[in-house]
């Protein structure tokens, strides 16, 4: 089996590449190293079954050659992180929309199975219940740059399912919920590594808003397990799946857990959204997945609880 991972030098992509190599696959990675890093793939970069191409997925001639060579495509390349989205809206939309169009069009040319990494952001401002795959979306105004990422990934999903329905291309869509773990950086606004780094350095742990917004965090190895099993399951084709952990925690409580587990003297400070991202910023108050569908189709159950997740991030930064 040969697989292509777009964004394979990134946080999730590098863990996926390691897992596929360990499973005996030949792995091709394309990454422009905008947010990915060579150190993420240092353990496998010299492996005889690993091949790295440093380029953009918008380079169609390169992508055409890579897609032709492989059996499966894991499309993870995207502009990620709230800070990236707020600072680079054009690049966000270009990468997320045009890049996915290139991947799907070339995959269809050679009829190669594709996993499309989507996001819990597509649900928008739901607060009333855990989020199920068939729920309506509740988006903010197009004047709010915050929602550009969610809308770009929504278009990716529509396009993937259109290829499945019209072209019979085997596709699987996974909506990832706050994937965290070793190698994730806080550079682009990711909350858990930011908290851990601040705590270990004795700096204030800054919580945006009132801290009552909730999230559910999933260890990257649980995500890799879910994604690879979905790609192996024929019943998953043409479907959308939540990929996450259904344990919910407030961001303020997460800061307290990090402070306690690091033994830090850092103060927890509340920072208004306007100060962090500018006037008019909107956030999602809740983001917790309903996992009934992925449990039913592949028997998925996350193995890492919140304490184990936080501990793995602390150990990574200490090392």
pLDDT tens string 237-274: 999 999 999 999 999 999 999 999 999 999 999 998 77
Between 102-111, 216-225, 273-282, the lowest mean confidence (pLDDT) is in 273-282
Catalytic residue, chosen from 74, 123, 149, 188, is: 149
Are 245 and 217 spatial neighbours (Cβ–Cβ below 8 Å)?
A: yes
CA neighbours within 13 Å on the CB side: how many for 69?
Answer: 16
Domain ranges within the chain, ordered by starting residue:
2-180+217-246+286-303
User: What b/e readout covers 96-109, taking b as 16+ CB neighbours within 10 angstroms?
Assistant: bbebbbbbbbbbbe
Supply 263's token pair.
């033994």
CATH of 2-180+217-246+286-303, one of 3.30.379.10, 1.25.40.20, 3.40.50.720, 3.60.20.40: 3.40.50.720
- At a CB cut-off of 8 Å and minimum separation 6, what does 276 contact? 206, 208
pTM tops 0.85, yes or no: yes
Residue 149 bears catalytic tag: yes
pLDDT digits (tens, 9 = 90+) for 117-159: 999 999 988 877 789 999 988 888 887 777 888 888 999 999 9
């Amino acid at each position: 089996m040969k697989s292509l991972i777009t964004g394979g030098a990134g946080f999730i992509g590098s863990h996926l590449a390691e897992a596929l190599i360990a499973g005996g696959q030949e792995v091709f990675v394309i990454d422009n190293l905008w947010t990915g890093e060579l150190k993420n793939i240092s353990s496998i970069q010299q492996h005889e079954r690993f091949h790295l191409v440093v380029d953009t997925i918008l380079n169609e001639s390169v992508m055409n050659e890579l897609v032709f060579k492989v059996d499966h495509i894991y499309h993870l390349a995207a502009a990620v992180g709230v800070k990236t989205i707020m600072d680079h809206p054009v690049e966000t939309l270009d990468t997320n929309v045009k890049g996915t169009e290139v991947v799907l069009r070339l995959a269809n040319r050679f009829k190669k199975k594709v996993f499309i990494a989507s996001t819990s952001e597509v649900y928008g401002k739901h607060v009333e219940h855990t989020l199920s795959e068939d729920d309506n979306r509740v988006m903010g105004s197009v004047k709010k740059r915050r929602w550009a990422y969610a809308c770009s990934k929504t278009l990716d999903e529509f396009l993937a399912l259109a290829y499945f329905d019209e072209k019979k291309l085997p596709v699987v869509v996974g909506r990832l919920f706050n994937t965290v773990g070793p190698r994730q950086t806080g550079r682009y606004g990711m909350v858990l590594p930011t908290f851990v780094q601040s705590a270990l350095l004795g700096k204030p742990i800054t919580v945006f808003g009132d801290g009552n917004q909730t999230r559910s965090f999933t260890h990257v190895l649980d995500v890799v397990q879910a994604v690879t099993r979905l790609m192996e399951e024929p019943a998953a084709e043409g479907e959308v799946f939540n990929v996450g952990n259904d344990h919910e925690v407030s961001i303020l409580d997460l800061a307290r857990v990090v402070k306690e587990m690091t033994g830090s003297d850092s103060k927890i400070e509340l920072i208004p959204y306007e100060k962090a991202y500018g006037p008019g910023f909107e956030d999602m108050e809740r983001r917790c997945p309903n996992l009934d569908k992925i449990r039913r189709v592949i028997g998925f159950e996350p193995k890492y609880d919140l304490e184990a997740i936080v501990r793995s991030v602390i150990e990574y930064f200490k090392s």
